[in-house]
């Protein structure tokens, strides 16, 4: 919940790593949503979506470009020491 007591909404993002023309690249995919409540965080992942690896929570509808999302992902990985 935010400071005003309202529910905060997030998008769930996962990354696909691939190689293109000899360069390593990553692509971000929105795979679900999440909301925070007084009791915790609830994740909503559509039926049939399989998620493995790291999942990044970003504020819903944040106008992040791909570079910003990748930087946030790298920052989270660094914070976890992976």
Per the structure, the count of domains in the chain is 1
Q: What is the pLDDT along the chain (82 residues), one digit of tens a residue?
A: 555 456 688 999 888 878 888 888 877 888 999 998 888 889 999 999 888 888 888 888 766 666 666 677 677 666 666 5
Contact partners, residue 73, CB within 8 Å, separation at least 6:
13, 15, 26, 28, 54, 56
Q: Tell me whether residue 66 is in a domain.
A: yes
Q: Tell me whether residue 3 is in a domain.
A: no
* 58: phi then psi, degrees, rounded to nearest 5: -125, 145
Q: Tell me whether residue 22 is in a domain.
A: yes
User: Domain span at residue 52?
Assistant: 9-80
Q: Output the CA torsion sign for 59, 52, 69, 30.
A: negative
CA 81, CA 79: separation in Å to the nearest integer? Answer: 5
Place of tokens 């910003």: 68
Angle 9-61-28 from CA coordinates, rounded to 5°: 105
């Amino acid at each position: 919940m935010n400071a005003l007591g309202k529910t905060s909404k997030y998008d769930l993002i996962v990354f696909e790593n691939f190689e293109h023309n000899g360069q390593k690249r990553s692509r971000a995919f929105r795979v679900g949503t999440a909301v925070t409540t007084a009791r915790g965080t609830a994740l909503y992942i559509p039926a049939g979506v399989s998620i493995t690896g790291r999942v990044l929570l970003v504020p819903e509808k944040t106008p992040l470009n791909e570079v910003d999302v990748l930087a946030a992902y790298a920052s989270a990985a660094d914070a976890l020491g992976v």
